[in-house]
Amino acid sequence: MNRSIRTRGVIAATAVACLTAGALSACSSGGGAVLVGTDASVPPLEYQSPTGQILGFEPDVIAAAAAVLGLKVQFVNGGFPSLIPGLQNGRYDMIASDMGVHPPREKLVDMVHDFMGGNSVVVTKDSPLQINGLDGLCGVSVGAQTGSTYLADLTTQSGKCTAAGKKPVDIHSFSDLNAEHLALGNGRIQALMTDHTIANYATNQLHENVKVALTYYSNPCAISVAKDSGLAQPLNAAIQYLIDNGQYKQLLAKWQMSDQGIPSAVVNGIQ
């Protein structure tokens, strides 16, 4: 499905009209449908119910923001590596899938922050590995999702390992988190790197046979829209509205992410 520039323009115009009306909550939902691409394999951020419905924190935030802007939302499940190309070629109006804000990405898309993420290293519960820092990954086989910032982090760390005379990180790339967990469970890899929200959910809610070995920093994650689409500022204003009226806080609590909220809405790191 291809989204024409004209269609995006209509959606953006509706959103801007809601902004200039001065009462965001008063907008009706007659402005068109926003097509949102996501990789629904990373609970609690986005995942599929047994009936195929896409659920999670980010779908809830997007739906709430779209309602504020008088827009309807349709979610489409797709592979993470295809999301940014799909946004650029007009297949999607927005994309969201635990997408960390990263300078190279900001050159490709406009990123509207929606929560604070952190990177975690996950191992099996019976793993003998003691990982106290990223240098503990030297010589370890580690998986990460294709197209993610985790792969870049692992590549950087692997270079540091060899520079220090240690074995490089044995890096494995996977299409989705389910494939990573399968590889970890069957011993193909010794660890995987993912967002700490996802890692905590896997250990505390899904009760999987894994544990968090290391969480090493926190960074914003974002909903992305095409460059110069006219959607970034209306979406950002809608998220700020949700923050101000308390609905954003309620959504964080619903998905047990209360410690990961953003204090204010931001586009591309510039407030």
- Residue boundaries of the structural domains of the chain: 5-117+221-260, 118-218
**Fold agreement (5-117+221-260, 118-218):** yes
- Beta bridge mates, 124: 210
Burial of 210 (0-12, 13-18, 19+ CB in 10 A): buried
pLDDT tens track for 154-197? 999 999 999 999 999 999 999 888 899 899 999 999 999 998 88
* Level-2 CATH architecture, domain 118-218: 3-Layer(aba) Sandwich (3.40)
Whether CATH 3.40.190.10 fits 5-117+221-260: yes
3-state secondary structure of 261: coil
Q: Is the dihedral of CA 104, 160, 122, 180 positive or negative?
A: positive
Residue 182 CB partners (closer than 8 Å, separation 6+): none
How far is the C-alpha of 268 from the C-alpha of 53, rounded, in Å?
Answer: 30
- The pLDDT value recorded for residue 25 is 47
- The pLDDT value recorded for residue 30 is 54
> What's the pTM value of the predicted model, to 2 decimals?
0.77
Report the candidate in 121, 24, 38, 26 with the shortest Cα–Cα distance to residue 74.
38
DSSP 8-state assignment for residue 168? P
Tokens at residue 114, please?
């929606």
Sites in the chain below the pLDDT cut of 50: 1, 6, 10, 21-26, 270-271
pLDDT tens track for 33-60? 889 999 999 999 999 999 999 999 999 9
Look up tokens 């520079």; give the residue: 163
- The pLDDT value recorded for residue 218 is 72
Alpha carbon dihedral 148, 152, 185, 43, in 10-degree steps, equals -30
Q: Which amino acid is at 26?
A: A
- The pLDDT value recorded for residue 56 is 98
Chain mean position to CA 234: 20
